[in-house]
Amino acid sequence: MIPGRGAVFFLVAALLASCTAAPRHEPHFLPKIESAIPLPPSFPAPVTPPDNRFTLQKAELGRYLFYDVRLSHNGTESCASCHQQQFAFSDHRPRAIGSTGQQHSRNSMGLTNVAYRRTLTWADPKMRLLEQQVLVPLNNEHPVELGMAGRYELLLQRIGSDPRYRALFATAFPGEEKPITIDNIARALATFERTLISARSPYDRLVLNGDSTALSPAAWRGMRLFFSTRLRCSSCHGGADLSSPADGQQFQNTGLYDRKTSRKMDPGLSGKSRSRGDVGKFRIPALRNVAVTAPYMHDGSTPTLSQVIDDYAAGGRAARLSGKRPGRGVAVRPFTISAEEKQDLIAFLDSLTDQSFLTDPRLGNPWSAVAEHEAGSSRAGYKIRP
């Protein structure tokens, strides 16, 4: 949860409790915080480790690296291949596909507001630092992602041979005699990812700016349902990014599969904790931009928001398919919802989409502009688009 946002959700509660019709528009009352990058009202500057303080120069270098296919062994994929801006930095596939064509077991998580997450992956509670996480796709072999395990010298040679990179690294890491290192690649990528801040959705215009006209009537009704005690959506999806559970447990079993099936397919958190009670538990994802990040769940097995709601209304997909009550340890409790209410709830989830975030050129592929200015030139035979 983003610190200092209690006032935001007090406002939501007040609006839901007191207003049937939308209140009149009021200017936002939340403070703006000074930062090297523009921040929405009340958002704090992202926390950074002592050895990687934020600079715009480092973020710009990270943007070039994020979109560069030379970070994959065979020159076919970049970070942006699995984290595409138009899909809120997810990839719209059920499960990720690595640079060798190997399909992964899990869905690519979106990177919206990743700087504020306490844990970064589906099922590893110890993965908390972006500088650590960005090296995972470079090194993974089971399955292969970017395929650079054991090939760091090749990567450094590729990057170091590019005059543009030599200038960018020198600017981002001034004073370092040899700034082009794997650690600095990780620092730059992490710094760019900390700029992926989204808070200009219709819902944000209501909550952060007091614009009561931001939501449609259906979305207003859907918001009341979302925060209601009947549906209890916000008991797991609370906080500023609608990702913080009320009980503080970031990893939950939503009843997607029964316990026996989960152990065979993907044990989730128990793969790290070795606890039988953690079988089938995965990290609760944030709901910002959720309408553009389909398909859903850790394995991308739920194609639409409508089906997500149907599964949760039954107490999880396993309960819906079996006709039985949810199994022990399942966090989702059954609820009733009409067809009209489901459409209202989906309208509210649609209101969490920040269209500007999906198209902001400052977060987009810088190599596209390079290609336009250097049309016809060759860059060692490597493609420059993800």
Q: Quick check: 284 and 123 in contact, CB under 8 A? A: no
Q: What is the pLDDT of residues 328-349, one digit of tens each?
A: 889 999 999 999 999 999 999 9
Domain 6-26+207-353 belongs in CATH node 1.10.730.10: no
Distance of CA 82 to the CA centre of its chain: 12
DSSP letter for 318, please.
H
The fourth-level CATH superfamily of domain 56-197+357-373 is Cytochrome c-like domain (1.10.760.10)
Neighbours of 274 (CB within 10 A): 9
Which residue from 385, 348, 375 is spatially nearest to 221, judged by alpha carbons? 348
Domain map of the chain by residue range?
Answer: 6-26+207-353, 56-197+357-373
Q: What is the mean pLDDT of residues 67-76?
A: 98
**Tens digits of residue pLDDT in 202-223:** 999 999 999 999 999 999 999 9
Structure tokens at 193: 């990812």
> Tens of pLDDT along 139-182?
999 999 999 999 999 999 999 999 999 999 999 999 999 999 99
Residue 24's Cβ-count burial label (10 Å; 0-12, 13-18, 19+) is: exposed
Identity at 290, one-letter amino acid code: V
CB burial string 298-315: b at 16+ within 10 A, e below: bbbbbeebebbbebbbbb
Instruction: Output the pTM of the full model.
Output: 0.89
Answer yes or no: same fold for 6-26+207-353 and 56-197+357-373. yes
CA 201 to chain centre: 15
Rounded Cα distance between 268 and 147, Å, is 24
**Ranges of H-type helices in the chain:** 6-18, 56-66, 79-82, 130-133, 136-139, 152-160, 163-172, 182-193, 202-207, 217-226, 259-265, 270-273, 305-313, 317-322, 339-350, 355-359, 366-373
Instruction: Give the whole-angstrom CA distance, residue 365 versus residue 330.
Output: 41
pLDDT 10s digits, 306-333? 999 999 999 999 999 999 888 888 999 9
